Amino acid sequence: MTSNQNLIDRRDRVVCRGVGRVSDVTASTASGAVITDVEGRPLIDFAGGIGVMNVGHCDPEVVAAIREQAGMLLHACFHVATYEAYVALCEKLVAILPHGPSTKAMLVNSGAEAVENSIKIARQATGRSAVICFTGGFHGRTLLATTLTSKINYKIGCGPFAPEVYRLPYPECSDFDGPAAACVAAGELARLRAAFGNTVAAENVAAIIIELVQGEGGFNVAPKPYVAGLREICDEQGIMLIIDEVQTGFGRTGRWGAFEHYSVVPDLSTWAKSMGGGLPISCVLGRGEIMDRVTPGTLGGTFGGNPVACAAALATIKRMESLRLNEVAAQCGATIRARFEALSTSVPEIVNVRGLGAMLAMEFAEEGDPGRPAGGLVRQIIRTCCEKGLLVISAGIDGNVIRVLAPLVIANDELERGLSILEDTIRDYTCGPAKAGVKGRK
């Protein structure tokens, strides 16, 4: 049997260091919400492969569908030969996520590819080139997606970046739909209107792309009135509203899409991660008349909508329906939120608890001063949690946010045990014996 250290050493010898590593954890097998490392040690998984495993690791029905499809058709290329799994998946997607009276879909392999294709669709549909995105946004690692991404650590040395991308501040607000939300929305919508005079002309803007809950950006939730205003402005100006649901989608917020919490329907949306139950697949959904303005041959790719990945996605969605995963997510989220909020009353370093449904996070700052993000503290907490058998990851421009993306099928006792490990570790580093060891942690 190989050891964890041996596998990490082998990795370091042959894998490019540009492929980041956020933990020393290894993975050999996984089931439900538990990953077992190469030494046979189980870890409760609060990361879900970064939001991919909403339906749980190796769900038996998903695995059976993969096996069955793999024995029938592994690949044909959808541009060359039409196969049932691709069409059936698009039928299912447009049925559960309608974008107006007629909706169409196209399939690719990753979140970044879905984002790239959504911009290509918006540009062709409008005949315009500019795209507006947001601070804190993350849209992937291909060149255009990297350009749309905000955090500098993800793009250092990777330029020159794609032209015609303009960034505005994300409307950060802890209030979802109350007076503070209305106030932030009014200010940020005025800023957007002003940007049409001082940054980019509205008639040149093809699309505005936004995450309604920023994933890598730290689980910031867009206020409801802001998104309603964005919809109005896009309608007025003929701009495509693209909602990036790659991390929020497929049950994470307690709905198929986060946009269902807002009384707004996007023109285009992007989906990946938990859609495939662990296999790489993604899609763009859009209003039919927009999707049909696109020239044949300008979208897609050799592997886009691979039959096995389509079968996995179909089985995943069916399983999510039978497990009523959206309702489960709401309950799971309520448990996490209650424990995070209770903890925050006794740990001054926790300056914010936020999120939507089961997409929840805690933000840390030195001595409770929001101006001093505590990324070093978060790194130590996460490392210690991994040693104690809980795999959890950070988020945020300053890495000072601990986020939970646990499989939604997590058993109650596993969830409570994972939360206890996290709480005990946080207490230890903020008011317990480990506190002294975090001096100079920045």
Chain positions contacting ligand PLP, by CB under 6 A: 50, 110-112, 115, 138-140, 211, 215-216, 244, 246-247, 272
H or E element, residue 333: helix 325-344
Sheet holding 42-45, edge to edge: 29-31, 34-36, 42-45, 390-391
Which of 110, 400 has the CB closer to ligand PLP? Answer: 110
Looking at the Cβ atoms of 242 and 377, the one nearer to ligand PLP is 242
Query: Measured from the CB of residue 345, what is the shortest distance to ligand PLP in angstroms?
Result: 30
User: What does 88-154 look like in DSSP terms, one character per residue?
Assistant: HHHHHHHHHS--SSSEEEEEESSHHHHHHHHHHHHHHHHT--EEEEETT----SSHHHHHH---GGG
Strands 165-168 and 130-134, bridge-based pairing: parallel
Residue 236 CB neighbour total at 10 angstroms: 10
Residue whose Cβ sits closest to ligand PLP: 111
Closest approach, Cβ 213 to ligand PLP, in A, equals 9
User: Partners of 42 in the beta sheet?
Assistant: 36
Output the smallest distance, CB 249 to ligand PLP, in A: 9
Q: Give me the residue label for tokens 């001063």.
A: 369
Q: How far is the CB of 252 from ligand PLP (least distance, A)?
A: 11
Instruction: Give the number of residues written for the chain.
Output: 442
The answer to whether 277 and 55 are in contact (CB under 8 A) is yes
**149-154: long-range contacts at Cβ-Cβ below 8 A with a sequence spacing of 24 or more?**
149/216, 150/217, 150/397, 151/216, 151/217, 151/397, 154/216
Q: What are phi and psi of 273, to 5 degrees?
A: 40, -105
Q: Which is nearer to ligand PLP, 53 or 115 (CB)?
A: 115
Paired with 108 in beta bridges are: 282
Contact 304, 80 (CB under 8 A): no
Give me the least distance between CB of 277 and ligand PLP, in Å please. 14
Residue 210 or 421: the one with the smaller Cβ distance to ligand PLP is 210
| Distance, CA of 123 to CA of 139 (rounded, Å) | 17
Contacts of 415 (CB under 8 A, 6+ apart): 33, 332, 335, 336, 406
Minimal distance, residue 417 CB to ligand PLP, in Å: 27
285-274-212 Cα angle (round to 5): 60
Alpha-carbon torsion angle 212, 214, 219, 224, nearest 10: -20
Sign of CA dihedral 3, 384, 396, 56: positive
CA dihedral 267, 272, 274, 275 (to 10 degrees): 70
Q: How far is the CB of 142 from ligand PLP (least distance, A)?
A: 7
Q: Looking at beta carbons only, is 211 or 363 nearer to ligand PLP? A: 211
Least CB distance from residue 210 to ligand PLP, whole Å?
A: 10
